[in-house]
Structure 1
Amino acid sequence: MPKFKLEYIWLDGYTPTPNLRGKTQIKEFDSFPALEQLPLWGFDGSSTKQAEGHSSDCVLKPVAIYPDPARTNGALVMCEVMMPDGVTPHASNKRATILDDEGAWFGFEQEYFFYKDGRPLGFPEAGYPAPQGPYYTGVGYKNVGSIARQIVEEHLDLCLAAGINHEGINAEVAKGQWEFQIFGKGSKKAADEIWMARYLLQRLTEKYGVDVEYHCKPLGDTDWNGSGMHCNFSTQYMRETGGKAYFEALMKAFADARADHIAVYGPDNHMRLTGKHETASIDTFSWGVADRGASIRVPHSFVNNGYKGYLEDRRPNSMGDPYQIASQVLKTIATVPTESVSAAA
């Protein structure tokens, strides 16, 4: 039987943003293994801020598996962290407790910077490059450099070969800044694939001597762009029924839950959500049709289709945990009873 390299991947206990961790075990299987064939596996939680040294055992529970195109007979195994009994979710295990709905679709736009030698890739050793403008969707060495596009193209190929529903890439507003998009049906599936795509990107950049910077405002209080992870979302009801009355009730629910959303939309968001640079203030809630400065951007297609389709929440940032982001969106949607809104309409 062939031996497979199983890379068990999990989120550690660091706060406010967990880190990806991974380790490999070798197992024999007749063919590429199914999820139910994968065993639980232990690790030292005292080295990942998930246990004390005197009782350091934690357990990895496989929850999703993907081919690893960078390895012969390789598999990428997304895991939840469990207590030593292998049944009780660890306190850091957010995935185990979030709301999920296969009828809810999520599209995440993951922005990030490439960093080298303590500054964005392509920045001069002192000062700044030419102002923003030509970098967004830019082409040519002076706009995107020589390494970045090579990395993002290779990352795209790795994700597609792994079966991740990667939907596109583009250079972003600031020099050294890029974006990729992931779509999934169900909050767990969509979030699993964002985390796995992040893992593949970070592992890939090792060979280029480049880091991935996810901080939402790495250049601080400047006019240089911050990084978001816009969350496009819809439910079956939004796609098939919708309506203006439901939409207005939904927007009221999002306004009322503003603080709950901000709490899980990523750390340091006050640095990014300033009311400038195409973002609404962190202390307000607004929506607008095709308005990139709103909290929630409403596509023209949504309005033209009778207030049916998807909406884009622009507040989540690039460091956000997609499990918690998607779950909070579903929690807020659940507060709007479709029956009463339909009756009122």
Structure 2
Amino acid sequence: MALLNDLLNLNLSDSTEKVIAEYIWIGGSGMDLRSKARTLPGPVSDPHKLPKWNYDGSSTGQAPGQDSEVILYPQAIFKDPFRRGNNILVMCDAYTPAGEPIPTNKRHDAAKIFSHHDVVAEEPWYGIEQEYTLLQKEVKWPIGWPVGGYPAPQGPYYCGIGADKAFGRDVVDSHYKACLYAGINISGINGEVMPGQWEFQVGPSIGISAGDELWVARYIMERITEIAGVVLSFDPKPIQGDWNGAGAHTNYSTKSMRNDGGFDIIKKAIDKLGLRHKEHIAAYGEGNERRLTGRHETADINTFLWGVANRGASIRVGRDTEKEGKGYFEDRRPASNMDPYVVTAMIAETTLLWKPT
């Protein structure tokens, strides 16, 4: 084991200019992250200077076997916390050999919205609160829970400490540091209401980078749980009954909302979101109806309401924003398994580009 660790921790820059690039992409389910590595002749900091690469789309549910080649376009570079040194993680999106985005490539359409001049001018900021659950590998039951049984009811676990309240902190802290090392704008972590459930926050990030950073943060968490021997779940309601679900609350502001008089802009944006509630819900994650029940700090999936400091609302405005007359709001509807490219672009499109008829 010691020799294996020595080899894993070799510093390549002592002996070679070459670096390892781990290309990351999203598979056919829309939630399965995939990755593979290649050697580059030297360090690279601009994703557009990286070579395109291909993979077998028939093995990821993204292409038929008789025409299985899918092309990866590098889009964002992060430092690799696993290999370290000059090695990198590369977030990619996927195209046909003819250069068409494949159907599961949600980044392509998001990038179009975020490059629209009206959106660029408003500098949309996002902060995404990613909730997730850590499961025991053998039984797919939350860590810290008795197998086949239940812990004491919710109450002491939220931001809790102690061996009977906080389960998996080593995974959570490793992930926090690894994300900061990678260059992800991770802004915090906390234990959630259901034991075995945690949250990390990514942001504030501008435009398309919010999606890139959240996906790479998810990738890093998948890798860490692989090492730790626990299973990562983004199910919006992993345990039925009187237990909180898992969401990905999305905080949002534009330049106009952050400036004086911004509260009026916020109210107009929320009105527009209300008019398109059904379309947003349809795009906010699979199985979200199991979570958005009107209980456990959610609004009912069929109801749109907003309020100041109201955790049972679809959209929550903070007390500070109300007091200062400017700031941001929080869309509490997205599920933990949402695609951040879809959600962030849709919020920008509805609030900045869409004109209600």
> What TM-score do the two structures reach when normalised by structure 2?
0.89
Aligned pair partner of 2:186 in 153, 159, 166: 166
Residue in structure 1 matched with residue 128 of structure 2 by the alignment:
108
Following the alignment from structure 2 to structure 1, what is the Cα–Cα distance between the partners of residues 169 and 272?
41
SS at match of 1:119: coil
Q: C-alpha offsets along residues 86-110 of structure 1, whole Å, 9 cap, x if unaligned?
A: x321121110111214500000000
CA 1:40–1:336 in 2, change beyond 3 Å: closer, same or farther? closer
Asked if the contact 2:266/2:328 (under 8 Å) is kept, the reply is no
Determine the structure 1 residue equivalent to 2:154.
132
1:247-326 maps to which residues of 2 (within 5 A)? 247-306=266-325, 308-326=326-344
Q: Conserved in 2, the CA contact under 8 Å of 1:61 and 1:82?
A: yes
Once residues 191 and 157 of structure 2 are traced to their aligned partners in structure 1, the CA distance between those partners, rounded to angstroms, is 7
Q: Secondary structure at the match of 1:124?
A: coil
Provide Cα deviations, 1:214-242, integer angstroms capped at 9, x if missing partner: 0000112x011100000000011111144
8 Å CA contact 1:250, 1:336 repeated in 2: no
CA contact (8 A) 2:305 2:314 kept: yes
Q: What amino acid sits opposite 1:76 in the alignment?
A: L
Out of 329, 334, 339, the position equivalent to 2:352 is 334
Q: Letter of the aligned partner of 1:20 in structure 2?
A: L
Shift of 1:336: 7.0
Output the CA distance in 1 between the equivalents of 2:183 and 2:294.
38
Query: In the TM superposition, what is the alpha-carbon distance from 1:302 to its structure 2 partner?
Result: 1.0
Which one of 7, 11, 27 corresponds to residue 12 of structure 1?
27
Q: Is the 8 A contact 2:262 2:327 kept in 1?
A: no
Structure 2 contact 263–321 (Cα < 8 Å) conserved:
no
Q: Which runs of 5 or more residues in structure 2 are unaligned?
A: 1-15
Which residue pairs with 1:82 in the alignment? 95
Distance, in Å, in 1 between the alignment partners of 2:40 and 2:263 is: 55
Say whether 1:26 aligns with 2:39: yes
- TM-superposition CA deviations, 1:246-297 (whole Å, max 9, x none): 3332222111110111011111111100011110000010011100000001
1:6 partner amino acid: A
Quote the offset at 1:317 in angstroms.
0.8
CA contact (8 A) 1:253 1:335 kept: no
Structure 2 residue 163 is the aligned partner of structure 1 residue 141: yes
> % of aligned pairs identical?
45
Deviation at 1:122, TM superposition (A): 0.5
Q: 2:145 — aligned with what?
A: 123
CA deviation string 1:282-318 (max 9, x = no partner):
0010011100000001101111112x11000101010
Please give the root-mean-square deviation of Cα atoms over the aligned residues, in Å: 1.5
My pick for the range that moved more, 105-114 or 326-335, is 326-335
Pair 169,230 (structure 1): closer, same or farther in 2 beyond 3 Å = same
Contact 2:24 2:33 in 1 (8 A): yes
> In 2, Cα distance between the equivalents of 1:152 and 1:250?
34
2:134, 2:196 within 8 Å by CA — same for their partners in 1? yes
Q: Report the CA distance between 1:185 and its aligned residue.
A: 3.1
Specify the alignment match of 1:340 in structure 2: none
- Return the alpha-carbon distance in structure 1 between the equivalents of residues 232 and 266 of structure 2: 37
Q: Deviation digits for residues 20-66 of structure 1, max 9, x if unmatched? A: 1000111211x344323210001100001111000001100000001
Give the counterpart letter for 1:324 in structure 2: V
Moved beyond 6 Å, runs of 4+: none
> Counterpart amino acid of 1:204?
I
Distance (Å, rounded) in 2 between the aligned partners of 1:123 and 1:57: 43
8 Å contact from structure 2 (residues 31, 337) kept in 1: no
TM-score between the two structures when normalised by the length of structure 1: 0.92
Q: Distance in 2 between matches of 1:41 and 1:131?
A: 49
Q: Would the alpha carbon gap of residues 248 and 27 (structure 1) be closer, same or farther in structure 2, given more than 3 Å must change? A: closer
Structure 1 position 154 matched with structure 2 position 174? yes
